[in-house]
Each structure stands twice: as structure tokens, then as C-alpha cells.
Amino acid sequence: MIKVLDVYCWKYEFMMDGSTPCIVEQRGILSIDRKETLIYRIKSIREEEPFLMRLVGLMNIYIKSSDPYKPELKLYAVPKGLDLRQMLRNNTQQLRRKEGVREFDTYRL
């Protein structure tokens, strides 16, 4: 029963207008935990369509970001996931150009 309440209280909000467009993840039943991922920090997006979810038009979306507190964001059972992915991709590029943000990756060899 507690798990059902936990899932019911788990919400995502896409704040696209305003000074800092972001994705807000909110979880919790009694105590609430909110995490924001800025849209321009998104590095890559991956989608997954398990067979049963595909039958009902849902998909999982995995977002990798350069955010130090939330480097990976998982969105489960998203309806119209391809539309959301395209919207995030377009907004990421626009915001990077607008803010003058450039990503530099460093790798250990």
C-alpha cells in the first residue's frame, strides 16, 4: 500500500517558461523531496519501449545531464514520449545558444 502511495505522489513538472527552464521531480508522501534539472544541462536522451508498455503507447525516457546533484533522470511510463523527447531536444539547443552555454567533456584515458 505504501508503494502505491509513493508512486501516486511521484510527479514531474516541465517548467519551460520563466528565467530558468527546468524539469522538477517531486517525490514523497509525508516529507517531500524536490530536485530540479536545468534544461540546458541535458547531455543525452535515451528512450526505451518495453513490449507491454508499447502496446498501450507508453515509454521510459532516460536523461543524462551535467547536473552534479541529479546526473541521471528517469521518467517512467511516459505517454507521447517521442513528442516529449523532441521538445526537450529542441529546447536544450535553444537555451544553450541563448545562455551561451557550451559543454566540454573530459575523459580519463
Task: Kindly give the pairing relationship between strand 33-38 and strand 22-27.
Answer: antiparallel
Helix H or strand E encompassing 33: strand 33-38
**Residue pLDDT, tens place only, 26-39:** 998 889 999 989 99
2-98 carries CATH number 1.10.3470: no
Which one, of 26, 33, 32, lies nearest residue 11 by Cα? 26
pLDDT on residue 64 = 94
Pair 22, 83: CB distance under 8 Å: no
pLDDT on residue 42 = 92
What residue spans define the domains of the chain? 2-98
Residues lower than pLDDT 50 in the chain: none
Torsion-angle region of residue 100: left (phi > 0), alpha (psi -120 to 50) or beta? Answer: left
